[in-house]
Amino acid sequence: MRLRTIAWLSLTALATASPVPSTAADATGHVTGIGGIFFKANDPKTLVAWYRDVLGISLEPWGGAALKYDAPDHPPALIWSAFPATTTYFAPSKQPFMINYAVDDLDAFLARIATKGVTPLKRTEDATGRFAWILDPEGNKLELWEPPKHPAPH
């Protein structure tokens, strides 16, 4: 939870901060964001169909999804965070990653995926928002996050 709180405070600071002016020396050649999330699957077609049919992720003709930053209620930034190799935060998944999906209404989202047979592993709420965790059909743990409607002061 401490890492999540630090990440949320960083996110709110980022969302309200003025951009740092760049100098000629650093005007180009830097990371500007996450361009994609790519992962292996035992059965990609079936797994992609589950994400489409259960989570409601719209697929593009090329087979993946383009999640837009300018969507209503989307957080202003994507959080990037490295966890210690010994973390149990991703358990019961055996994968070395976990994807956090922002949702607009956690209760409504969980009610909708319950009709598809998906039950949350756990739910919690803190100053950084409301959370639930689920597993996809290949055992990857997913974190569902409803950001607070009014960001916590920093």
pLDDT tens per residue across span 52-108: 999 999 999 999 999 888 877 788 888 889 999 999 999 999 999 999 999 999 999
**Alpha-carbon span 76 to 15, nearest angstrom:** 6
pLDDT tens per residue across span 15-63: 444 455 555 566 788 887 888 898 999 999 999 999 999 999 999 999 9
Query: Mean per-residue pLDDT for 120-132?
Result: 96
134: closest CA among 116, 145, 120? 120
Domains of the chain: 2-17+67-146 (3.30.720.110)
pLDDT at residue 8 greater than cutoff 60:
no
Rg of the chain (C-alpha set): 17
pLDDT of residue 2: 45
Q: Which residues contact 107 (CB under 8 A, 6 or more apart)?
A: none
pLDDT of residue 3: 47
Give me the long-range contacts of 111-115 (CB less than 8 A, separation at least 24): 112/56, 113/54, 113/55
Residue 10 host element (H or E): helix 2-16
pLDDT at residue 133 greater than cutoff 70:
yes
pTM: 0.78
CA distances to 64, 85, 96 from 39, rounded to whole Å, are 11, 19, 11
pLDDT of residue 92: 96
